[in-house]
Structure 1
Amino acid sequence: MHTVIPLARHGPGVLDLNGQADIRRFHPGIGSLDMLRALRTSRQRQRPLAVTLHWPANPPSDEYPRSLAQEIQLVGCHLGARQPLEYFQWRGAASIGAVQTLMAAMRERFHFLAPGRGDYGIDLDPYHTDWAGMGLLRDLGFNHVCIGVPDARAEGVHALAWYRDPAPIQSLIDAARTFDFRSVSVDLGYGSAWQTLASFDTKLASLIALEPDRLQVFDYARPPSRYLAQPARAQCSAADKAQMRQLCFERLGAAGYHYIGLGLFARGDDDLIQAQERGRLSRTSEGFTLHGYCDHIGLGLGAISQIDGLCAQNSSTEPAYAQALHNGQLPTCQGWQRQVGDGLREYVVERLACDLELDIQAIERRYGLVFSQYFATLWPLLEQWARDGLIELSAQFLCVLPDGRRQVDELCGLFEQA
């Protein structure tokens, strides 16, 4: 029996991509040796890999690329040479030169798939990437791009000017189409004090007109990790934020975008939407993915790795990160190991987030329990959601109804805290 932290019955819709990894459970008892054991297990089982490399939001020191190269070498030497790298994501906008150097190090140690087979993405700063750079990135093997928020590093008049100007984003989308990138995602932040409902509506309309494959919408008060190093900014009112969220659901829905969850919207023909419809979508510490069956390895400051039951995080400060690598050790500083009972909650949350439904009878058979009794303190709230027309609920099945799609993150949060 579990105690549920009280939450509001349901809100106007959540657009928050934080909380994919339950860092509340992290403790310093997890370290380099735990990560080495996990890498050895991955090598022995020859499991496919998904790797995320983190580049800081603020310009790092000249030493950081060298430290990253050291980590790439150290992690790579504990993995099998033929373990397929099915997914790679470069998080954070870096110079083309830094990308070229570190991609050379990656290819020395990791087995990239043949062109067109893997999913390899990179974050871009629209004010520091041009057509020539897009061509170089395509030559390096990237086939997905995420275009960052141009106003994320500015305040006042500069932020407003960058916010209003769609030309840099349009140029990169045109380049991505020309160079045959598989998908284009655009970040959109809301909630700054200088934003108004009218200006946000105009910005949203301009992005919809550019027809990106995906839009990642987030609250500036809870930004993605790639923006966390930016100074805190003044916020608009809670009422204005709620209206901006509402606009996202209305405008993007009318334009043919589907809400997946965690602030992510995608077009109906997107790979993630198709995977969701077929029950093949997964969710990890990086969000929604087609590669949930892979061992997930994080490289760089604050990066999180998930291998079997281990969730491990690198040091978030550059001195500690660099010192560990200088000593020949992995920079793991904290994490947690899945315990008995954690698997059930993780499974329920992932399947609910990805499939928008739960086969309660199958869960009961799999884990040997009565679902309504195990989540007894949560069940009355679920019944209220059902009466409000947000979910369909029975002893055998839970299904998120169309009116409840925008509350799916909040619904998952109830189970995460159960």
Structure 2
Amino acid sequence: MELAAALLEKYSKPGPRYTSYPTAPYFSEAFGEQAWREELQKTQSSGRDLSLYVHVPFCDTLCYYCGCNMVATKNYTKATAYLEYLFKEIDSIAALTAPDRTVRQIHWGGGTPTYLHPDDIRRLFIHLSSQFKVDAAAEIGCEVDPRELTREHVIALAESGFNRLSLGVQELQDNVQQAVNRVQSESLIREVYGWMREAGIQSINMDLMVGLPHQTVAGFSETLDKIIDMAPDRLAVFSYAHVPWMKKHQKLIQESDLPDLPTRIALQQLLLEKLNQAGYVYIGMDHFAKPGDELVKAQQSKTLYRNFQGYTTHKDCDIYAFGVSAISQTDEVYVQNAKNLAEYQNLIYKGALATERGLRITLDDRIRRDAIVTIMSDLEIDKAQFSRRWEIEFDTYFEDAITDLAEMQADGLIELNPAFIRVTETGRMFLRNIAMSFDAYLKQPVEIKPRYSRTL
């Protein structure tokens, strides 16, 4: 895949990652607990299955690049106390859920869920699965930090039924690890990866990151060679989002140490070339998988979807999310729990739901979300099919997007004709930019726009 440096420079601009549309900054405190309770009641007979998310915010140490809602602590009693609040929240939502609704997917994120001791991993999973009807073939995944991890953690995950694990690697170069305060040797990564394979985990993902301080093409090339040698089933290679105005700890990273634009371009080119040569399929939005992977098959059959859990094969599921800052979703509503740990625990203690803010989306939001998710998942939009689905005339409805799309066609990112919009091989690198064409919120006056990280 040939990438023109001029295109990367042109399209490297602030923009959303589109795990939702509208994006989270537009959620409002006007949508509170009572509105969420009413939505839960109304949607029990929707016929949609469930996807459960659990947020465990704790980490032993602070990674300076981190953009997650997390708490760095070595005081494990905080996690023990948190679990009791989590159990109570799970019970509250389960009591509002029709017992015949089937859970097709479970994911634990953080922080790092493997901060929990092995017995507490088992205890949390038993509690969660006892309150909901979990399908025997459910996809059950967890994010894993190799530091402080033991073989017993992996055994606890496997025995609980986890079949997908995501191992946080980021980089293997010592100087980069030191600069972001995440030191973990190659030998440690290989050891933990080996434990996962020995435990029979069906699918292993590795997270990498480009754009970190002191990162070089030569160093990242070595990292990629070592990762490819380990042969994970999937790779998620994120661009570092430097947002110190949102995440104050990122000020610990010196901006002068970050790769300049030519280096970032070269890193992206290297990434695409090496993973392509190694046989990985570039799905889009930083995700790569082996040809036989479910994500690749879903993209080929146009059943891939994108939500707060990233790319997923479980499109028609409501998401019930538990824990501090966790975001739930029905077809028409997004709702987020309190982002502050003490506030979250206080709400649960009082017997309330942990709701802090949310949003009921409009018909226009739904139509535009469908366009954004379709282009990011299927890499094309059949205009006639889309028009029939929403009873609109595509080119007229999205007149505001046509100008942007025409320019992207001139730059070789898409093919645009009366019947289809198709993403080119080059365009896969620019999916966020292509999706931004359909985003009505980005066209609002500048003074009310949120600040986003750069797309590349």
Q: TM-score, normalised by structure 2?
A: 0.82
The residue type equivalent to 1:68 in the other structure is L
Report 1:147-166 matches (<5 A). Answer: 147-149=167-169, 158=178, 165-166=185-186
- Of residues 101, 104, 111 in structure 1, which corresponds to 2:123? 101
Q: Deviations over 1:73-119 (max 9, x none)?
A: 111111122321110001032222332221122122112222xx110
What is the rounded CA distance, in whole Å, between the counterparts of 1:339 and 1:138 in structure 2?
Answer: 41
- Of residues 372, 392, 398 in structure 2, which corresponds to 1:369? 392
Instruction: Indicate the SS of the match to 1:174.
Output: helix
- Of residues 208, 228, 234 in structure 1, which corresponds to 2:254? 234
What is the rounded CA distance, in whole Å, between the counterparts of 1:394 and 1:105 in structure 2?
Answer: 52
Counting matched residue pairs gives 405
Q: 1:120 to 1:228 in 2, by over 3 A?
A: farther
- Shift, 1:191, TM fit: 2.0
- Shift, 1:298, TM fit: 1.1
User: Which residue of 2 is the match for residue 3 of structure 1?
Assistant: none
1:205 equivalenced with 2:205 (yes/no): no
Instruction: Indicate the SS of the match to 1:148.
Output: strand
1:80 equivalenced with 2:80 (yes/no): no
Aligned Cα RMSD in Å? Answer: 2.8
1:292 equivalenced with 2:292 (yes/no): no
- Shift, 1:353, TM fit: 0.8
1:328 equivalenced with 2:351 (yes/no): yes
What is the rounded CA distance, in whole Å, between the counterparts of 1:288 and 1:17 in structure 2?
Answer: 15
- Shift, 1:164, TM fit: 7.4
Report 1:310-325 matches (<5 A). Answer: 310-325=333-348
1:68 equivalenced with 2:86 (yes/no): yes
- Of residues 290, 295, 306 in structure 2, which corresponds to 1:272? 295
The answer (yes or no) to whether the contact 1:54–1:90 under 8 Å persists in 2 is: yes
What is the rounded CA distance, in whole Å, between the counterparts of 1:375 and 1:183 in structure 2?
Answer: 39
The answer (yes or no) to whether the contact 2:327–2:334 under 8 Å persists in 1 is: yes
The answer (yes or no) to whether the contact 2:170–2:208 under 8 Å persists in 1 is: no
- Shift, 1:28, TM fit: 0.5
- Shift, 1:141, TM fit: 0.9
What is the rounded CA distance, in whole Å, between the counterparts of 2:139 and 2:316 in structure 1?
Answer: 14
User: Which residue of 2 is the match for residue 6 of structure 1?
Assistant: none
What is the rounded CA distance, in whole Å, between the counterparts of 1:44 and 1:243 in structure 2?
Answer: 51
The answer (yes or no) to whether the contact 2:176–2:215 under 8 Å persists in 1 is: no
Q: 1:192 to 1:402 in 2, by over 3 A?
A: closer
- Shift, 1:222, TM fit: 5.0
The answer (yes or no) to whether the contact 2:205–2:236 under 8 Å persists in 1 is: yes
- Shift, 1:271, TM fit: 0.5
- Of residues 267, 284, 287 in structure 2, which corresponds to 1:261? 284
Q: 1:138 to 1:169 in 2, by over 3 A?
A: same
User: Which residue of 1 is the match for residue 368 of structure 2?
Assistant: 345
The answer (yes or no) to whether the contact 2:177–2:184 under 8 Å persists in 1 is: no
Bigger Cα displacement from structure 2, 252-261 vs 33-42: 33-42
The residue type equivalent to 1:103 in the other structure is F
Identical-residue share of aligned pairs (%)? 26
Instruction: Indicate the SS of the match to 2:194.
Output: helix
The answer (yes or no) to whether the contact 2:170–2:209 under 8 Å persists in 1 is: no
What is the rounded CA distance, in whole Å, between the counterparts of 2:175 and 2:424 in structure 1?
Answer: 40
Report 1:113-192 matches (<5 A). Answer: 113-114=135-136, 117-149=137-169, 158=178, 165-192=185-212
Instruction: Indicate the SS of the match to 1:126.
Output: coil
- Shift, 1:206, TM fit: 1.1
Bigger Cα displacement from structure 2, 85-94 vs 213-222: 213-222
What is the rounded CA distance, in whole Å, between the counterparts of 1:411 and 1:45 in structure 2?
Answer: 32
- Shift, 1:10, TM fit: 4.9
The answer (yes or no) to whether the contact 1:17–1:287 under 8 Å persists in 2 is: no
Can you give the 5+ residue segments of structure 1 that lack an aligned partner in the other structure?
A: 1-8
What is the rounded CA distance, in whole Å, between the counterparts of 1:162 and 1:144 in structure 2?
Answer: 23
- Shift, 1:340, TM fit: 2.3
Can you give the 5+ residue segments of structure 2 that lack an aligned partner in the other structure?
A: 1-5, 58-69, 444-456
What is the rounded CA distance, in whole Å, between the counterparts of 1:246 and 1:259 in structure 2?
Answer: 13
Bigger Cα displacement from structure 2, 230-239 vs 50-59: 230-239
Instruction: Indicate the SS of the match to 1:352.
Output: helix
